[in-house]
């Protein structure tokens, strides 16, 4: 912040905020975010391990998909459209396991690799790993898995 003179009654210096740094350009288009979300969750729904978990807990797929597009658009494009709190919802799910989190990351990495946008792939995979680790760590911390803590972080598939 830099100081500027104030000609106000008190005669004290005022500070003027420094300009905010410019956001880097998005690594992907909105259409690419939509494709990522739809391709990924299509794979999740078909997956023999993850599919039943999601089918049991997602009641309105079109609404859920729109929320997910908004979520990933916020993370990858900085659109700030998402305004939810997914942690609590996910913490309430019974029976999650390290295997499920690892499978989620594997499918996610396969999906991003197939999109053909390396910048998007790198950022999306990094964010997915952060999310999976945060959720899994808290899920364990709250004792929802019924076991002890599993060492973190969960590595991205193929990066052990």
pLDDT at 107 over 90: yes
Give the E-state strand segments of the chain in sequence order: 2-4, 14-16
What are the tens digits of pLDDT across the range 13-67?
666 776 766 666 789 999 999 999 999 999 999 999 999 999 999 999 999 999 9
Question: Is residue 77 within 8 Å of residue 30, measured between CB atoms?
Answer: yes
Q: Which of the residue ranges 58-62, 73-77, 136-140 would you say has the lowest mean pLDDT?
A: 136-140
Residue 121, pLDDT score: 96
Average pLDDT of the residues in 76-94: 84
Q: Which residues, at least 6 apart from 99, have a Cβ–Cβ distance to it below 8 Å?
A: 49
Residue 135, pLDDT score: 87
Q: Give the CB-side neighbour count of residue 45, counting CA atoms within 13 A.
A: 13
pLDDT at 4 over 70: no
Q: Give the CB-side neighbour count of residue 92, counting CA atoms within 13 A.
A: 6
Average pLDDT of the residues in 115-126: 95
What is the overall mean pLDDT for the chain?
83
Residue 112, pLDDT score: 97
Residue 2, pLDDT score: 46
Where do the domains of the chain lie, and which CATH numbers do they carry? 27-141 (1.10.490.10)
Residue 27, pLDDT score: 92
Question: Is residue 72 within 8 Å of residue 36, measured between CB atoms?
Answer: yes
What are the tens digits of pLDDT across the range 139-160?
877 765 555 555 555 555 665 4
Question: Is residue 110 within 8 Å of residue 36, measured between CB atoms?
Answer: no
Residue 1, pLDDT score: 47
What are the tens digits of pLDDT across the range 54-67?
999 999 999 999 99
DSSP lists the bridge partners of residue 16 as: 2
CA distance 30 to 114: 17
């Amino acid at each position: 912040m830099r100081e500027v003179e104030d000609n106000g009654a008190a005669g004290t210096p005022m500070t003027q905020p420094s300009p905010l740094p410019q956001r880097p350009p998005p690594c992907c288009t909105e259409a690419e975010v939509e494709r990522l979300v739809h391709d990924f969750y299509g794979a999740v729904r078909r997956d023999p391990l993850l599919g039943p978990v999601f089918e049991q807990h997602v009641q309105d797929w079109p609404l859920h998909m729109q929320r997910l597009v908004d979520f990933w658009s916020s993370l990858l494009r900085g659109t700030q459209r998402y305004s939810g709190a997914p942690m609590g919802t996910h913490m309430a799910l019974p029976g999650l396991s390290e295997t499920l989190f690892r499978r989620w990351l594997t499918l996610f990495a396969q999906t991003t690799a197939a999109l053909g946008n390396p910048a998007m792939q790198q950022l999306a995979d990094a964010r997915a790993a952060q999310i999976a680790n945060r959720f899994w760590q808290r899920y364990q911390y709250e004792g929802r898995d019924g076991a002890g803590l599993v060492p973190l972080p969960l590595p991205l598939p193929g990066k052990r």
